[in-house]
Chain A
Amino acid sequence: MNDDLRFAVFNGGLLHSTKQTEMIYLDFEKPIEELYEQLEKLKKIGESGKVDVDSALTELEEKISEVKKSIYGSLTGWQRVQLSRHPERPYTLFYISKLCNRFLELHGDRNFGDDKAMVGGLGEIDGKPVMFIGQQKGENTKQRQYRNFGMANPEGYRKALRLMKMAEKFNIPIVSLIDTPGAYPGLEAEERGQGEAIAKNLMEMTTLKVPVICIIIGEGASGGALGIGIGDKVLMLENTWYSVISPESCSSILWHSWDFKEQAAEELKLTPEHMKQFKLIDGIIREPIGGAHNNPDEMAMILKKEIKKHIAELENLKSEERIEMRIEKFSSMGVFND
């Protein structure tokens, strides 16, 4: 990793806070953007001192809050997908830097190389060691390429497994932060056994002796997400999705066109609420209003609280109990007539 990137990693918060000055609005957020523009104008008028705008300002701020509640309170599946991919959304290393008082990033699968799309290492949350693994996306064009858009190769899954086995050896709980558009569908990925790497993780994670908490923090696309997604607790942030296929690819295959992604997103029932209702995840973690990117620091604090709570709960159980419950949970997934 070069110095620029190292800086970016440990100053993720700074990068985010500077970006807050120029909010990026998604199509369905246009009404909010317009209200904020009005608010800016009104403030300027107020600053000029000619007119008293205080009551108008209060009224407008209340309106913004109402409109936000109504928009974010009834998001469609596709809008969740859009928020999960928001260019300002915090990524894995940002959260790690906020959660931990110290963090040692660990590299390499000891076999082929070091996958930049999959990061991991030993951290410490309020004095307690935690092993982190997770996909990492980049924050600008150069970094996005460097991180391969969060699409891991087999060595990424093998690096994650190596770190999880280390955690098991030293009795350290594991936190997996999931954010990927999928495992990388490349030629070398196939040569090096993408399928085998993911499959092995599924089986090995099932029987890890330490607590494993998996959290979807962005995109949870198919086997690439599941490859680090077997845990005692599988949680999703509010504006994320988890599905067997992306809405775009689903549209392309089943509708023979890229134009049905919104409909595919609805049909796939990929929101955290659906996943919880289907008992395919264990819980939903709320985000600051408007999404994690609106207040990354608050999001990190919420995440920290959740992680600490779940680790404490899981450490009350014996490892055999956790493993048995893990197998039981995943074994009962599926719907059929019998």
Chain B
Amino acid sequence: MSWFKRDKQGILTSTEEKLEVPDGVWWQCSSCKKTIPTSDLTDNRYVCPNCNYHARINSVEYFDIIYDEGTVKKLFEDLEPRDFLGFNDLKSYKDRLVDTKKKVNVTEALTVGSGKVNGHKLITCCMNFNFIGGSMGSVVGERISKAIDHCVEKKYPLLIISKSGGARMMESAFSLMQMAKTSAKLTQLAAAKLPYISLMTDPTTGGVTASYAMLGDMNIAEPKALIGFAGPRVIKETIGKDLPKGFQRSEFVMEHGFLDFIVDRKDLKSRLTDIVELLMNKSEK
């Protein structure tokens, strides 16, 4: 589950959580190492113009990319995480929540947006990696659950953008049961014959992969995203061998039959439009 981050730095270091959304004038690509003006990156939907590396972004940026200007509004923001178990490791979960909220511009590891994509209504549940590693707490599950109810009521299609290190250990079994909860709710969306598109982005691991991320009518992914159940380090420790190049990357996952297609961020909006128009028979006649 959350084994993905079993490294010396631990789950919650700032490097692990750091989004690659730049705040200075210059940005260095972590893939090709080229330094470019930040505006070149943001103008290119946070994709490196030199090597097509897709920088990690969160709901704020994704909503800008997919929704028609001025149409998006956030839903269920009043749902907030709670330290029900009184969980303490080296730091209390309570303090982690307070500190995280101070640092980031989102209220949980998943934000729900409602808006229009080329004129078509679409509900999007987008995960935020900067909120405790995009871990699946109770609020993540409840927001997805409420988003599904909303879709069923209004007959809207659903997009979930996954980006997660896995479970939120500080919510223990409540975190685990979010896998059951979201999968159970997805049966209601399926029964209503409404499309569910699952977009996997770097990284999608653990309990998120083993629940809603893999349950789309269409499972799609950004290029070279890490997608898997167990994290690469754990697998390496288990088998005692180095992992092949490209292991658990989008292209590998697609080659093994688990993705419908890989989509560049620049094409995302138009592919979503295609899916919604074709599945819901909404093209202009």
Contact = CB atoms under 8 A, between A and B. Distances in A.
A333 B238 contact: no
A200 B181 CA distance: 13
A270 interface: yes
Interface in A322-338: 326-327, 330-331, 333-338
A297 B261 CA distance: 53
Interface stretch (B52-60, B84-92, B111-119, B151-159): B84-92
A333 B139 contact: no
Interface stretch (B65-73, B203-211, B262-270): B203-211
Interface in A235-280: 242-245, 249-250, 252-256, 260, 264, 267-270, 274-275, 278, 280
Nearest to A329: B184
A190 B229 contact: yes
Nearest to A254: B89
B239 A326 contact: no
A270 B173 contact: yes
B87 A198 contact: no
Contact of B1 (A202, A245, A274, A326): A245
Contacts of B26: none
A333 B176 CA distance: 10
Contacts of B80: 336-338
Interface stretch (B34-42, B98-106, B120-128, B185-193): B185-193
- Indicate the size class of the contact surface on chain A: 35 or more
A255 B106 CA distance: 27
B245 interface: no
Nearest to B177: A333
B257 interface: yes
A337 to B, nearest CB: 4
Contacts of B1: 182, 222-223, 244-245
B178 interface: yes
Contacts of B247: 187, 190
B48 interface: no
A1 to B, nearest CB: 25
Contacts of A338: 78-80
A192 B82 CA distance: 37
Nearest to B176: A244
Contacts of A242: 173, 176
A87 interface: no
B126 to A, nearest CB: 18
Given A206-B183, A268-B169, 7 more contacts: A183-B229, A189-B230, A193-B214, A202-B211, A203-B215, A245-B1, A249-B3
5 contacts: A193-B256, A244-B168, A244-B173, A267-B85, A333-B141
